[in-house]
Structure 1
Amino acid sequence: MRKHRLDVFSLIAGALFTVIAVVYLVAAVNDQSVNGRVVIPTAFIVLGTGGLIGAVVAVARRGRGERE
């Protein structure tokens, strides 16, 4: 099997949505509520940061490939 490059943005987005799902699941089991005013902006901030990190990693890989 061919090894593929790590997609940082997809990894961060998947982890974020998994964490959000677990938070809602735990809140439902404990008869609590989750404040959407906190979850939604936090999700956007994490996704934006993940996008920036993914872009920086892509640029770094492109620069490294030219030197080799």
Structure 2
Amino acid sequence: MKRHRFDLFSFLAGGLFTVLAVLYLVASLNHAQVNGRIVVPVTLIVLGAAGLAGAVAAAVARRGRDD
């Protein structure tokens, strides 16, 4: 199998959605509710930060190759 570069954004997005799924699963098993007014903005903030980190990492890697 051919190796590929590590994609930080995809890794963080997958981890975030896994955490959200576990959060909702545990809440449903305990007959509790998850406050969507908190979860949705936090999800968007984390995805935005991950996108920014991925863009910066790509720019740094690109700059290192040009030298």
TM bucket normalised to smaller? over 0.9
TM-score by structure 1 length? 0.94
Which position in structure 2 is the counterpart of 1:27? 27
How far 1:3 moved relative to its partner? Answer: 1.7
How far 1:66 moved relative to its partner? Answer: 1.3
Gaps of 5+ in 1: none
Spell out, residue by residue over 1:12-44, the C-alpha distance to the aligned partner (whole angstroms, 9 max, x if none): 100000000000000000110000000000000
**Amino acid in the other structure paired with 1:6:** F
**Amino acid in the other structure paired with 2:46:** V
Distance 1:22 1:13 in 2: 14
Gaps of 5+ in 2: none
Give the alignment of 1:5-16 within 5 angstroms. 5-16=5-16
Give yes or no for the alignment of 1:4 onto 2:4: yes
User: What's the RMSD between the two structures over aligned residues?
Assistant: 0.7
Give yes or no for the alignment of 1:41 onto 2:41: yes
| Greater than 3 Å deviation, 4+ residue runs | none
Aligned length: 67
